[in-house]
Chain A
Amino acid sequence: MAAPAYAKQEELLPDDILTALLALAKQKSGKERLAFRGHDSDLQKSFRNLSSTCGNRLLEPFVFSNSGPEPYSPVLNECFSRLQLCGLVGRENPDYEVVFLRPSAETYFTEYLSHRFSKDEMEMLGQTADCFLKVVTLA
């Protein structure tokens, strides 16, 4: 089978990092389904905690604004929107405040994304995924 067109892309985008992080977190949680509180303010707070407790270079693209009362990362917000548009994550009815990982995200990670991270980066991602499970409120 011919390699997909996107295989040529070398640079890791924040979307790739977020997808890989969520897929690894699901594997590590041992749960059949990874779902967590995903209101915008919950996500911002969780990732802010993640950056401060487990900060590494993979989380650097998620820059948080420091000018307002709450730290805010537009990149994080945009990434979640794009992942939802791509069908990699979903939001539950009726209030759409619970985010869950779709099976397509796991397939995308194991079959394609995981090969784009180096061994060091995978290790870093694994540690970040552990931290993520601690800072997020699982639903």
Chain B
Amino acid sequence: MNGGTLEDRVEAFVKWLFEGHQTAVPRSSKVINDSLLGNQYISQAEVAVVDSPLIQRLKRIKQTGLAYQVFPSATHTRFEHCLGACTLAERCFTAIKERFDVELPRDVFPASGDRLKGDLAHVRMAALLHDVGHGFCSHASEQIYEVLTDIQEFKGRPAFTKNAPGEILSHLIVKSPTFRNWFTEFVIKECHSEIDLDTVAQIILGSHPRKELYFLSQIVSSPYDADKLDYIARDSYYCGLALTVDLARFYGMISITKHRGFHLCVFR
């Protein structure tokens, strides 16, 4: 795994992860109960991804790194965080759509709310996969590998300059040939999903190939994304700290506006 480009090494890692993995195609969608968010509805295609070694690996990565040494109950993992981010991404999407439909009833909402193959499916999938690039102890190890020269080289590219190393790795993992082949065979063919992995990989980086759908990437990666909504609530809950996020107000205020052809998330 030592030689080659960063993409080669990421591919070698994903290959190693999937080695010997027997994929059982899920029979249906699932409802997963979460201590924080309650019932979470996961589509058949998402269940396949959740059951894959990529997401299962996250069960071994503590969400708050070494914080459990000080806050003993902070033993929650990246796994439940990714499921939570997926659910909250849909809640953000729905809140934006509802507000749009009320304020601009004659306009057509730019994104499709289909949970199986539409833009919503892409946002949910991106939220589910956004942290697959995390290493041991989460952000604690990120501080080490962000100084690696090939990560630095990626940070020097305009497309990656605003991204953290974990996001860059998640993007590369999603784009790796092994994962793409597995996804095509089991998610697209077997689960009849129409999700485009390139779009998912773009959303993870906080961008979108279509300007009018840019706000979808902001739901997953921006200063006020579903990721933060989940981890602020989840980390405080498991650490036993009384931090509050007024989600009702958040969903009531979030909206979109057009700027230079881009639809952007705003609060008003």
Q: Does A67 contact B (CB under 8 A)?
A: yes
Q: Determine the distance from Cα of A68 to Cα of B222 in the docked complex, in whole angstroms.
A: 11
- Which residue, of A67, A69, A74, A75, has the highest number of chain B Cβ atoms within 10 A? A67
Produce 1/0 per residue, A66-90, CB < 8 A to B.
Answer: 1111101111000000000000000
Q: Determine the distance from Cα of A120 to Cα of B106 in the docked complex, in whole angstroms.
A: 61
- Complex contacts, B158 vs chain A, CB 8 Å: 63-67
Produce 1/0 per residue, B173-217, CB < 8 A to A.
Answer: 000000000000000000000000000000001110001001000
Q: Determine the distance from Cα of A64 to Cα of B260 in the docked complex, in whole angstroms.
A: 18
Query: What's the nearest-Cβ distance from chain A to residue B39, in Å?
Result: 34
Produce 1/0 per residue, B5-26, CB < 8 A to A.
Answer: 0000000000000000000000
- Asked if residues A69 and B214 are in contact (CB atoms below 8 Å), the reply is yes
Produce 1/0 per residue, B102-130, CB < 8 A to A.
Answer: 00000000000000000000000000000
Q: Determine the distance from Cα of A60 to Cα of B155 in the docked complex, in whole angstroms.
A: 12
- Complex contacts, A63 vs chain B, CB 8 Å: 155-158, 161
Produce 1/0 per residue, B70-94, CB < 8 A to A.
Answer: 0000000000000000000000000
- Complex contacts, A72 vs chain B, CB 8 Å: 162
Which residue on A lies nearest to B261, using beta carbons?
A: A69
- Asked if residues B262 and A68 are in contact (CB atoms below 8 Å), the reply is yes
Q: Determine the distance from Cα of A116 to Cα of B37 in the docked complex, in whole angstroms.
A: 56
Residues 228-268 (chain B) with a chain A CB within 8 angstroms = 259-262, 264
Q: Does B159 contact A (CB under 8 A)?
A: yes
* Contact (A74, B162) CB under 8 Å given A67-B205, A67-B206: yes
- Complex contacts, B155 vs chain A, CB 8 Å: 63
- Asked if residues A65 and B161 are in contact (CB atoms below 8 Å), the reply is yes
- Complex contacts, A73 vs chain B, CB 8 Å: 161
Residue among B159, B260, B262 making CB contact with A65, cutoff 8 Å: B159
Which residue on B lies nearest to A64, using beta carbons?
A: B158
- Complex contacts, A64 vs chain B, CB 8 Å: 158, 161
Produce 1/0 per residue, B144-181, CB < 8 A to A.
Answer: 00000000000111110110000000000000000000
- Complex contacts, A60 vs chain B, CB 8 Å: 156
- Asked if residues A69 and B162 are in contact (CB atoms below 8 Å), the reply is no
Q: Determine the distance from Cα of A60 to Cα of B158 in the docked complex, in whole angstroms.
A: 11
- Complex contacts, A67 vs chain B, CB 8 Å: 158-159, 162, 205-207
- Complex contacts, A68 vs chain B, CB 8 Å: 206-207, 214, 262
- Asked if residues A74 and B260 are in contact (CB atoms below 8 Å), the reply is no
Query: What's the nearest-Cβ distance from chain A to residue B221, in Å?
Result: 10
Q: Determine the distance from Cα of A72 to Cα of B160 in the docked complex, in whole angstroms.
A: 11
- Complex contacts, B261 vs chain A, CB 8 Å: 69
Add 15 more A-B contacts to A65-B159, A68-B214 (CB < 8 A). Answer: A60-B156, A63-B155, A63-B156, A63-B158, A65-B161, A65-B162, A66-B158, A67-B158, A67-B162, A67-B207, A69-B211, A69-B260, A69-B264, A70-B260, A72-B162
CB pairs A–B below 8 angstroms (6 shown): A63-B161, A64-B161, A66-B159, A67-B206, A68-B214, A69-B260
